[in-house]
Amino acid sequence: MAGAGAGVVPAPGGGRPLIITEDPVLLDDLLRLCAAAGAEPHVHHAVPEQGGASGADRASDGSAGGVGWDSAPLVLVGDDAARRVRGAPRRTGVFLVGRDLDDPLVWQRAVEIGAEEVLRLPDAESPLVDRIADVVEGAGRPALAVGVIGGAGGAGASTLACALAVRAARAGERTILIDGDPLGGGMDVLLGGESAEGLRWPDFAASRGRVGAGALEESLPELHALRVLSWDRGDRVVVPPAAMRSVVAAARRRGGVVVVDLPRRVDEAVAEVLAQLDLVLMVVPGELRSVAAAGRVAAGVRMVARDVRVVVRGRCPGGLDPEAVAELLGAPLAGEVPVEVGLPGRVAEGEPPGAQGRGALARFCDGFWQRALGPAQGVPA
């Protein structure tokens, strides 16, 4: 269908969708789907004039002002109205919606109005709700999503994940820290907020479809200028893969930074998370036994993750240097994090990792984000 190019008006981001139809049954369906996505649409019988509506159209959308064809972020054209919008300027974000699955001319009408896609209800209800919700939430560039995993037991992956999130938040980034390891000590504990009000993973275990990005963010505990999704102190240690996928996707949708603390075992739910990450940092102590263990972990992670890099933690007497560790694992070296003296004691007193800006851990994290969140918004080379 029509795409971006000469003479095509790009769809604006954010705002209320525009519905064009006179079919009362279809209109009821579209209004119901908009309500499910949290959107309040404008409704017109034909192409509205730019900047406002008049007469019957104002009465239809129930507002004192309308929306123009060019200014609506999303346009849903009922199949009954396709002929009435054929002369409208070409733009992105136009969808032809109907119910007749056997109409052979529907594709011709879609081409005539420059529709991106033909959506047939009820089969297309779920993807249509997603598209409408993207408009409501002003979907733009997704968050840079970074996972942290320990190559060996006690490597310090949770500490690094927490510090990365703390430093990103202090740099002014919208930050969500996700605890993906149900058998860990709890990221909220590392942040000193185990009793903070807000939802935990068990509250999202039943999630199947789309999770609203704004609702997710507002529901989570806010600690040290970031939002954290952790586990409660209950017995549940399993979240279905579909719920994992929906929650991580929602966390990314509003941009900024998402940091995920990952368990060392890659099961189906963890694979859903790995598939959405831009980069995975594997934390490995610089000694041979840890490197051997990390090799097995890396093999599982690489089956799903698109980019895996090594962070070497500490220098062991007689151990391997960082370059040798990365070479043995066959992965790029992201850097070295020296052991920070006094960090366990400060964490026990309620100070999260990375809080001291002059510490070795904070310096590593700041350098990482400076490279990752540069002008090109790229991941560090």
Q: How confident is the model at residue 377 (pLDDT cuts 50, 70, 90)?
A: very low
Phi, psi of 76 (to 5 degrees): -110, 110
- The sign one gets for the Cα dihedral 196, 201, 203, 207 is positive
SS3 content of the chain, % helix, strand, coil (to 5): 35, 15, 45
Residue-wise pLDDT for 10-21, tens only, equals 344 457 899 999
Parallel, antiparallel, or unpaired: how do β-strands 226-229 and 222-223 relate? antiparallel
Whether pLDDT at 77 is above 50 = yes
Fill in the DSSP letter of residue 309: E
* C-alpha span between 248 and 234 (Å, rounded): 22
What is the DSSP secondary-structure string of 192-227? T-TT-SS--GGGGTT--S---HHHHHHHS-EETTEE
Whether pLDDT at 134 is above 50 = yes
pLDDT at position 316: 65
Give the residue from 176, 193, 228, 165 showing the smallest Cα distance to 362.
Answer: 165
* C-alpha span between 204 and 188 (Å, rounded): 17
Residue-wise pLDDT for 165-175, tens only, equals 999 999 999 99
pLDDT at position 75: 96
DSSP E strand boundaries for the chain: 18-20, 42-44, 75-78, 94-98, 117-120, 144-150, 175-179, 222-223, 226-229, 257-262, 279-285, 308-313, 333-337
Parallel, antiparallel, or unpaired: how do β-strands 117-120 and 94-98 relate? parallel
pTM here is 0.73
Rg value, the chain, Cα: 25
Whether pLDDT at 280 is above 70 = yes
* C-alpha span between 245 and 148 (Å, rounded): 17
**Average pLDDT of the residues in 261-265:** 94
What is the DSSP secondary-structure string of 73-93? S-EEEEGGGGGGGTTSPPBSS
Give the residue from 105, 99, 103, 104 showing the smallest Cα distance to 123.
Answer: 99
pLDDT at position 131: 84
pLDDT at position 52: 43
Residue-wise pLDDT for 296-320, tens only, equals 999 999 999 989 999 999 876 667 8
Residue-wise pLDDT for 182-215, tens only, equals 888 789 989 988 889 999 999 988 776 778 888 8
Q: How far is CA 330 from CA 160, 284, 293, 299, 378, in A?
A: 21, 13, 14, 10, 22
Among 65-79, 161-175, 191-205, 353-367, the least confident range: 65-79
**Average pLDDT of the residues in 125-142:** 80
Whether pLDDT at 330 is above 90 = yes
